[in-house]
Amino acid sequence: MKRVGILSLIHESNTFAVSPTRIESFEQDNLLVGHEIRGAFEGGHHQISGFLEGLEQANLEAVPIFHASTSPSGTITKATCETLIEMMFDALGKARELDGFLVSPHGANAGEGPDYRDLDGFWLEKLRSHVGPDIPIVCVIDPHANLSERMVAACDATIAYRSNPHLDQKERGHEAVDLVALTLKGEIRPTQRATFPRFGINIERQGTTLWPCLPLYELANEQLGRPGVLSNSVVLGFPYSDVEEMGSSAVVVTDGDPDLAQNLADELVSYMLEHRAEFVGEYISVSAAVDQAVSTKGPVCLLDMGDNVGGGSAADSTLIAHEIHRRGDTTGFVCLFDRESQDRAREAGVGARLTLSMGGKTDDRHGDPLEAEVTVKSTHDGTFEESEVRHGGYTHFDMGATTVVTTATGLTISLTSRRTVPVSLGVVTSVGLDPSDFQILVAKGVHAPVAAYEPVCTELVRVNTTGATAADMRTFEYQHRRCPMYPFEDIKH
């Protein structure tokens, strides 16, 4: 039985976030070797779950080697990069001879210093050097990757999820297995090419089932029916990493035909550039969004784009909460990462009344703390399970110790001791709340919360808040991006 190794390093690195990412974050979330990986992912919805299941079905031996991941946050420190790479290749060195690899970088791993800004390119290039040119390496990335030439050169095939919110990760894992299995049988010879335009898609416009991305994905799907095409991917890009590769791109994998792969990647990019003005985005202010939500049959979900926790933001923005609290004429729910306020409320006890200064503590970009008299409603351990397929493919969530408080103005605040990406409605329901009891549900994201919140909300409104993930990329100061680049500067198609 041929043996296929599995390696994974996943972090969406927001270089504009003030808090760096250290090894402790990976240790707290996922830092796994060997069979620990199987235990964490078997039966789940992640691409690694697809790797494990697909390899068994293909009668190939899955050899889980290394997996590290943590929630999106700031730049990974140099010491952490070095530790992760050392651990990965130490684990690889202990594996017996392998016939192929399935790898899962995020695609937007960004470390400290020039050697690690393209961390994914660094470790994939190192892997290729380690195993030689003839061992197939098939790669699955998040479409919020900043794809680099090094990443493409190191792998035989690169596959990005085709949905945002990301609901097809397991399917992409199976797709990767199919390519490596057919390659090992000698039935195909994957050859990939990518195109890297000086162009970026605004995060607000990255919904894959919505205009303007939908026609682009329809073109990509049509290409899959052409002879010789094995796979293709639209790479949306991640504008919150200040790296040379920042931007959107396209990659196509063919059966031994590099010219076809390049022509089709160019075709996808030509569509992006021809329609580039459509990908810039539109914006609604906090006050206008709350006005709209209050005047609409609820619940209405307000998506806090500037505090997109899934993009590495603070999780403690108070901008929308201040507006709901100021009005005092509606009911709203918001989740704030604030250990200090959580601890104080928990210590006071259920039923107690106290004044708290909540949120707005990570930096000065996400609003001032919300100071209000609150009543402690309930306390929770903050853990919950998600059985449905949700963005990110994870099933277990841990918000840390969590306390729910209410104000006299109709605002309910869940104070958590860990940053939590709101991809599951469990953020609300696990603390004993019913979404239908609120006119407004605030979710700190852009597209990731949609799968969970859309079924229970009458409308979803993307709100133009400031913060480390502000929707308009033109508001950030970059040191390393390419120039000229649209939408920062105009470009010729």
Which residue, 232, 230, 271, 273, is CA-closest to 250? 232
The CA distances from residue 345 to 78, 278, 353, 367, in Å, are: 37, 46, 9, 21
Residue whose token pair is 């993307």: 462
**In angstroms, rounded to a whole number, what is the distance separating the alpha carbons of residues 331 and 187?**
60
DSSP H or E run through 398: strand 396-398
Architecture (CATH level 2) of domain 3-279: 3-Layer(aba) Sandwich (3.40)
Per-residue pLDDT 10s for the chain (493 aa) are: 999 999 999 999 999 999 999 999 999 999 999 999 999 999 999 999 999 999 999 999 999 999 999 999 999 999 999 999 999 999 999 999 999 999 999 999 999 999 999 999 999 999 999 999 999 999 999 999 999 999 999 999 999 999 999 999 999 999 999 999 999 999 999 999 999 999 999 999 999 999 999 999 999 999 999 999 999 999 999 999 999 999 999 999 999 999 999 999 999 999 999 999 999 999 999 999 999 999 999 999 999 999 999 999 999 999 999 999 999 999 999 999 999 999 999 999 999 999 999 999 999 999 999 999 999 999 999 999 999 999 989 889 999 999 999 999 999 999 999 999 999 999 999 999 999 999 999 999 999 999 999 999 999 999 999 999 999 999 999 999 999 999 999 998 7
DSSP H or E run through 293: helix 286-294
Contact yes or no for 310/427 (Cβ under 8 A): no
88 token code pair: 């990965």
The CA distances from residue 52 to 21, 55, 250, in Å, are: 29, 5, 27
Largest CA distance in the chain: 70
Cα torsion through 455, 461, 465, 468, rounded to 10: 40
Which residue, 119, 72, 487, 58, is CA-closest to 240? 72
Cis peptide before 212 (omega within 30 of 0): yes
**What is the bridge-based pairing of β-strands 190-195 and 157-160?**
unpaired
Buried b (16+ CB within 10 A) or exposed e, 319-328: bbbbbbbebe
**Long-range pairs of 281-288 with CB within 8 A, sequence gap ≥ 24:** 281/202, 281/203, 281/204, 281/205, 281/471, 281/472, 282/204, 283/204, 283/464, 283/471, 283/472, 284/461, 284/462, 284/463, 284/464, 285/463, 285/464, 286/319, 286/320, 286/323, 286/463, 286/464, 286/465, 287/323
Where in the sequence of the chain do the CATH 3.40.50.2300 domains occur? 3-279
